């Protein structure tokens, strides 16, 4: 029957009508986790309390499901299974973070916890045995409580404390770990931590705490980078950078273009200009705008503390590649008389007299801050290249927040759409992107969302004592991208 044949034919056409886009040779794929979100073992084998331990125990009401990371994925015991998953996906690298309060229970190197060194040695050796590269984040939001009690990231001495901690981890793991990230997402570290009640220490200090943190983070990173550069790089040839969170901001209308640019400088530039620009220091336009705000408020000094010339030199050039995390986009417009913007963790935008809004056709993901806009990752990469030149870019986090369920077609589509934009940045805009990291390997403790929001390629059963992990559709999809080293984009089927 002719009619029947026609149906078969059009099915074949529909299946075959897709474009295969290869990734450049040498492009690497990874997946990431962070210590507090997966490890558990919060008080085991000498680990001391960190700011998240304290916060979730004292303020369960600030967490959506009143849960804690006390056990989380129990990766402290299940790390072998985690590495099996990395192998199943055929990852080139696995990004994970070290717990400062596990390694240095006092926060300082007067006592190094051997059990912690052994745990991370096992993980690192296990990764290498599978032919996978470890990418290690030294600090990912989980400051020892002892250091928070001394002011945490608002205390200038933290620059030295972090350097001391970095020296310890370089000395113990630097022979095998060749890729390092000093500090994860300073913009969240500073904004969410000093400007929002849902992140510890919930010490609200939008005028000063946030800005002190911004400066100290940059200096701490720089000191750690220089330790590595001087003492380890000649022998181990590894590479170190900071990981910057880049949300893409664009103007709601052409008249807000300058404001959108200033917002990019505030959230991305504040944590990268000092490192990657030729002149160093804060982005000049941002520093000027914020200094004017400080004067208007009656402060005698800028709230964003200026760098000395010596500090500018200390920070400038302390990178081996540009690491960025990206998830979402926003639109900017100027605030109306008396209008205030308070959405965390971006409340600081008040200082720019800006209001952040969402484009109606950006779908909302399963958590409040997250709108899906695949073009944002390409535009963000192009903006970074325009700002800082033809650097090597590694995407160190990208992924989608969803509800529970194994057939996560929304996450599959997110990865496809965002990776397509990454390929456009590479092929059309000549941005040198060399790596991509899925956030995250498995469901984990999503900070103030607790276990209500899922980001994992693998589902984790948090009521199962063994925290069983099961691959989602997106895990199969991501494994296939890695295996074929290419992305298959369906095109509209041609009707004959
Ligand atoms: C991208 O950066 C890497 C690392 O610096 C370099 O080896 C490679 O040649 C660069 N690729 C392009 C296309 O510039
Ligand atoms: C999770 O684990 C618990 C305990 O083992 C089990 O009863 C439950 O069925 C599991 N849930 C799923 C969705 O597999």
What ligand is nearest to the CA atom of residue 430?
1
The pLDDT of residue 26 is above 90 = yes
Q: Which residue has the tokens 């801050």?
A: 369
The domain 24-251+319-328+363-484 having CATH identifier 3.60.15.10: the answer here is no
CA atoms within 13 A on the CB side of 237: 0
pLDDT of residue 17: 81
pLDDT of residue 340: 81
Residue nearest to atom 4 of ligand 1 (CA): 392
pLDDT of residue 192: 86
In short, whether 64's Cβ falls inside 6 Å of ligand 1 is no
Q: pLDDT-based confidence at 7, cuts 50/70/90? A: very low
Query: Model pTM?
Result: 0.95
Residue nearest to atom 13 of ligand 2 (CA): 461
pLDDT of residue 344: 65
pLDDT of residue 195: 85
Q: Which residue has the tokens 């397509």?
A: 420
The pLDDT of residue 123 is above 80 = yes
Q: Counting atoms of ligand 1 from 1, which one is nearest the CA of 321?
A: 5
Mean pLDDT for 228-243 is: 98
The pLDDT of residue 12 is above 90 = no
Determine the distance separating the centroid of ligand 2 and the alpha carbon of 126, expressed in angstroms. 28
Do the Cβ atoms of 7 and 13 come closer than 8 Å? no
In short, whether 392's Cβ falls inside 6 Å of ligand 1 is yes
Token reading at 81: 């299974």
pLDDT of residue 13: 46
Q: In this predicted model, which residue has the larger pLDDT, 352 or 315?
A: 315
Residue nearest to atom 11 of ligand 1 (CA): 432
Q: pLDDT-based confidence at 429, cuts 50/70/90? A: very high
Task: Report d(CA 208, CA 301) in Å as an integer.
Answer: 11
Determine the distance separating the centroid of ligand 2 and the alpha carbon of 464, expressed in angstroms. 6
pLDDT of residue 11: 45
Q: In this predicted model, which residue has the larger pLDDT, 250 or 493?
A: 250
The pLDDT of residue 390 is above 60 = yes
**Residues in contact with 83: Cβ distance below 8 Å, sequence separation at least 6, in sequence order:** 94, 123, 126, 127, 130, 132
Task: Report d(CA 496, CA 493) in Å as an integer.
Answer: 9
Determine the distance separating the centroid of ligand 2 and the alpha carbon of 450, expressed in angstroms. 18
In short, whether 434's Cβ falls inside 6 Å of ligand 1 is yes
Q: pLDDT-based confidence at 4, cuts 50/70/90? A: very low
In short, whether 432's Cβ falls inside 6 Å of ligand 1 is yes
Determine the distance separating the centroid of ligand 2 and the alpha carbon of 73, expressed in angstroms. 14
Determine the distance separating the centroid of ligand 2 and the alpha carbon of 481, expressed in angstroms. 30
In short, whether 466's Cβ falls inside 6 Å of ligand 2 is no
Where helices occur in 281-408 by DSSP H, the ranges are 284-296, 309-315, 375-388
Domain boundaries, the chain: 24-251+319-328+363-484
Residue nearest to atom 3 of ligand 2 (CA): 464
Determine the distance separating the centroid of ligand 2 and the alpha carbon of 493, expressed in angstroms. 41
In short, whether 461's Cβ falls inside 6 Å of ligand 2 is yes
Residue nearest to atom 2 of ligand 2 (CA): 464
Angle at 276 between CA 332 and CA 418, to 5 degrees: 50
Mean pLDDT for 283-311 is: 96
Angle at 449 between CA 446 and CA 451, to 5 degrees: 65
Mean pLDDT for 234-254 is: 97
| Mutate which of 464, 466, 470 for ligand 2 pocket (most atoms within 8 A of beta carbon) | 464
Determine the distance separating the centroid of ligand 1 and the alpha carbon of 446, expressed in angstroms. 34
* Residues taking part in catalysis: 185, 397
pLDDT of residue 492: 62
Q: pLDDT-based confidence at 346, cuts 50/70/90? A: low
Q: Counting atoms of ligand 2 from 1, which one is nearest the CA of 470?
A: 14
Q: In this predicted model, which residue has the larger pLDDT, 422 or 339?
A: 422
Q: Which of 35-39, 257-261, 321-325, 488-492 is predicted with the least confidence, judged by mean pLDDT?
A: 488-492
The pLDDT of residue 9 is above 70 = no
In short, whether 110's Cβ falls inside 6 Å of ligand 2 is no
What ligand is nearest to the CA atom of residue 404?
2
Q: What is the pLDDT of residues 48-65, one digit of tens each?
A: 999 999 999 999 999 999
Residue nearest to atom 5 of ligand 1 (CA): 392
pLDDT of residue 493: 54
Instruction: For the sheet with 329-334, list strands across it.
Output: 248-251, 329-334, 354-357
Mean pLDDT for 281-293 is: 97
Q: Counting atoms of ligand 1 from 1, which one is nearest the CA of 430?
A: 13
- % pLDDT > 70, the chain: 95
Mean pLDDT for 298-311 is: 97
Determine the distance separating the centroid of ligand 2 and the alpha carbon of 87, expressed in angstroms. 25
Mean pLDDT for 393-417 is: 98
Residue nearest to atom 7 of ligand 1 (CA): 392
Task: Report d(CA 118, CA 205) in Å as an integer.
Answer: 38
**Closest-CA residue to 30 (of 166, 145, 248, 179):** 179
In short, whether 464's Cβ falls inside 6 Å of ligand 2 is yes
Residue nearest to atom 13 of ligand 1 (CA): 432
Residue nearest to atom 12 of ligand 1 (CA): 432
Q: What is the pLDDT of residues 142-178, one digit of tens each?
A: 999 999 999 999 999 999 999 999 999 999 999 999 9
pLDDT of residue 489: 87
Burial of 191 (0-12, 13-18, 19+ CB in 10 A): buried
Do the Cβ atoms of 65 and 451 come closer than 8 Å? yes
What ligand is nearest to the CA atom of residue 435?
1
Token reading at 357: 């809004």
Do the Cβ atoms of 18 and 424 come closer than 8 Å? no
pLDDT of residue 126: 98
Mean pLDDT for 315-343 is: 93
Mean pLDDT for 355-362 is: 92
Mean pLDDT for 278-294 is: 97
What ligand is nearest to the CA atom of residue 427?
1
pLDDT of residue 193: 87
Determine the distance separating the centroid of ligand 2 and the alpha carbon of 57, expressed in angstroms. 26
Token reading at 230: 């001087």
pLDDT of residue 487: 97
Q: What is the pLDDT of residues 72-110, one digit of tens each?
A: 999 999 999 999 999 999 999 999 999 999 999 999 999
pLDDT of residue 89: 98
Task: Specify the DSSP class assigned to residue 335.
Answer: P
What ligand is nearest to the CA atom of residue 432?
1
């Amino acid at each position: 029957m002719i009619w029947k044949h026609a149906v078969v034919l059009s099915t074949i056409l529909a299946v075959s009508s897709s474009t295969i886009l290869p990734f450049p040779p040498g492009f690497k794929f990874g997946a990431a986790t962070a210590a507090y979100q997966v490890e558990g073992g919060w008080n085991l084998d000498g680990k001391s309390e960190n700011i998240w331990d304290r916060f979730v125990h004292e303020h369960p009401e600030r967490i959506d499901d009143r849960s804690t990371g006390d056990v989380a994925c129990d990766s402290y015991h299940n790390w072998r299974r985690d590495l099996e998953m990395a192998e199943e996906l055929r990852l080139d690298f696995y990004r994970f973070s070290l717990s400062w309060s596990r390694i240095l229970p006092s926060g300082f190197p007067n006592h190094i916890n051997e059990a912690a060194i052994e745990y991370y040695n096992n993980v690192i050796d296990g990764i290498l045995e599978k032919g996978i590269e470890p990418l290690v984040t030294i600090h990912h939001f989980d400051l020892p409580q002892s250091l928070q009690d001394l002011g945490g990231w608002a205390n200038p001495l933290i620059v030295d404390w972090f350097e001391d901690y970095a020296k310890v981890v370089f000395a113990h793991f630097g022979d095998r770990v060749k890729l390092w990230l000093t500090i994860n997402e300073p913009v969240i570290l500073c904004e969410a931590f000093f400007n929002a009640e849902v992140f510890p220490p919930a010490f609200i200090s939008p005028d000063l705490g946030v800005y002190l943190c911004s400066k100290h983070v940059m200096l701490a990173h720089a000191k750690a980078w220089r330790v590595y550069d001087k003492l380890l790089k000649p022998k181990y040839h590894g590479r170190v950078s900071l990981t910057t969170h880049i949300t893409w901001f664009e103007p709601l209308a052409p008249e807000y273009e300058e404001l959108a640019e200033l917002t990019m400088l505030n959230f991305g530039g504040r944590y990268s200009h000092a490192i990657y620009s030729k002149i160093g220091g804060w982005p000049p336009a941002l520093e000027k705008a914020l200094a004017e705000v400080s004067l208007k408020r009656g402060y005698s000094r800028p709230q964003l503390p200026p760098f000395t010339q010596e500090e500018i030199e200390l920070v400038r050039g302390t990178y081996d590649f540009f690491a960025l995390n990206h998830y979402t986009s926003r639109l900017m417009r100027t605030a109306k008389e008396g209008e205030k913007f308070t959405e965390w963790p971006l409340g600081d935008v008040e200082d720019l007299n800006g209001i952040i809004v969402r484009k109606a056709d950006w779908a909302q993901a399963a958590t409040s801050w997250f709108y899906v806009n695949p073009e944002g990752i390409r535009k963000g990469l192009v903006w970074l290249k325009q700002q800082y030149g033809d650097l090597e870019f590694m995407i160190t986090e990208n992924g989608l927040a969803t509800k529970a369920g194994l057939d996560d077609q929304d996450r599959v589509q997110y990865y496809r759409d965002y990776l397509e934009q990454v390929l456009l940045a590479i092929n059309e805009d000549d941005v040198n992107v060399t790596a991509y990291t899925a956030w995250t390997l498995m469901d984990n403790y999503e900070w103030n969302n607790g276990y209500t929001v899922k980001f994992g390629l693998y589902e984790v059963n948090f009521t199962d004592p063994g925290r069983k992990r099961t691959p989602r559709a997106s895990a199969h999809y991501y494994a296939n991208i890695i295996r074929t080293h290419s992305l298959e984009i369906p095109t509209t089927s041609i009707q004959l």
